[in-house]
Amino acid sequence: MQTSIPSGQTKAASGGGLRQAMLRHPLLSFFFMAYAFSWIVSIPAILAEWGFLPASLFQLFFLLKAFAGPFLAGAIMINLTEGKAGMLRFWRRFVQARAGWQWYLMILLGIPALFVLGIIIQPGALANFQGFPHNSPLYYLVSYLINFVVIGLFGGPLAEEPGWRGFALPRLQPRYGPLKGALLLGVVWAFWHLPDFLTRAQGGGPGTGWGAFFINLPIFVLMVVAISVVMTWVFNHTRASLLMMILLHASINTGGILPDLFHAPNVPAMTMANLAMLFAAVVPALLIVILTRGRLSYQP
């Protein structure tokens, strides 16, 4: 399928030297702002996590960091490089819902199913199934759907995707090719989360040592790179829909609550969740690369 991102014409650099530099290097400018804005906003969250600021500030700044980073950086660069017409196209992609039913099925059911499979193949996990809360699968399903909506709006997807897949990916694919572009974006995306490893969001925070960091970080990076490949393939099949990217990202993040139903002896919950998603991402990513011969269904 051909993506519907218009190439647009770069606006003339009539401003100062900074504006001209940003126009000459739009991707580098975007990545720099995405990192700088988010990491600066992350500082109060980290300080709150470690007891140097009121603990109540942690959640506020943790939620704001993605909006201050990829979202804002993407909007700035699209406005700078494509003007008002580009911004209008950008906002329309948020409500671009026309996609085959199979994509909604994959996002809403396929991702959670792969996540559960990634959990139960871990030694001892299936034998230690904890049961559904209140012994009610329906109660858990409703809770899962509520989490899906909340995580989609405030847990990263809505704030991150306008930058990663709204601005960066449509420019990485023509320049580097779909596979290299997806891998490069995956690496940048993964290390953008680095400050999170100083907080409970990635198993860090007070009382944790370097051991958890050195275990979880490599798993996380490989997982995110594989997810980037899968998301690029879906992106190319859904006409660059930001709505579909947000839904897919939300489904991936919501899968993080599924390990609560199980208990793997001697495996921390965060590591268990990352290993499950690693399986759920790497297997389809490898199949997609093989079956599309690395093209990820991209047509320039």
Instruction: Give pLDDT tens digits for 57-91.
Output: 998 999 899 999 999 999 999 999 999 999 999 99
Res 8: pLDDT: 45
- Residue reference for tokens 């680095």: 194
Alpha helices in 177-268 (DSSP H): 178-192, 210-237, 242-254
167, 219, 162: which is closest to 193 by C-alpha? Answer: 219
Res 9: pLDDT: 44
Range of the domain at 129: 17-292
Residue 85 belongs to a domain: yes
User: Per-residue pLDDT averaged across 122-142, rounded?
Assistant: 86
Q: Looking at the predicted structure, is the pLDDT value of residue 134 above 90?
A: no
For residue 221, count other CB atoms closer than 10 A to its CB.
17
Q: What DSSP state is assigned to residue 266?
A: T
Is residue 163 within 8 Å of 30, Cβ to Cβ?
yes
Share of the chain above pLDDT 70, in %: 93
Residue 249 belongs to a domain: yes
Rounded Cα distance between 17 and 171, Å, is 22
Res 266: pLDDT: 67
Q: Which of 107-116, 191-200, 208-217, 222-231 has the lowest mean pLDDT?
A: 208-217
Residue 5 belongs to a domain: no
User: Per-residue pLDDT averaged across 205-216, rounded?
Assistant: 80
pLDDT digits (tens, 9 = 90+) for 11-42: 444 457 899 999 999 999 999 999 999 999 99
254, 255, 182: which is closest to 225 by C-alpha? Answer: 182
- Give the HSE-up count for residue 36: Cα atoms under 13 Å, Cβ half-sphere: 7
* Structural domains in the chain (count): 1
**The residue type at 25:** H
Residue 181 belongs to a domain: yes
**The residue type at 184:** L
pLDDT digits (tens, 9 = 90+) for 136-153: 899 999 999 999 999 988
Res 126: pLDDT: 83
B/e letters for 167-181, b = 16+ CB within 10 Å, e = fewer, are bbbbbbbeeebbbeb
Rounded Cα distance between 212 and 270, Å, is 9
User: Per-residue pLDDT averaged across 275-298, rounded?
Assistant: 95
pLDDT digits (tens, 9 = 90+) for 237-254: 999 999 999 999 999 999
Q: Looking at the predicted structure, is the pLDDT value of residue 267 above 80?
A: no
Res 197: pLDDT: 92
Residue 110 belongs to a domain: yes
Q: Looking at the predicted structure, is the pLDDT value of residue 4 above 60?
A: no
φ and ψ at 293, to 5 degrees? 55, 40
Res 230: pLDDT: 98
Residue 3 belongs to a domain: no
Rounded Cα distance between 69 and 184, Å, is 18
Res 14: pLDDT: 44
Cβ within 8 Å of residue 239, ≥6 positions away:
1, 2, 3, 4, 96, 98, 99
Res 265: pLDDT: 64
- Residue reference for tokens 């779909």: 178
Residue 11 belongs to a domain: no
Q: What share of the chain is helix, strand, coil (3-state, %, to 5)?
A: 75, 0, 25
Residue 300 belongs to a domain: no
Cβ within 8 Å of residue 144, ≥6 positions away:
112, 254, 257
Q: What is the mean pLDDT of the chain?
A: 90
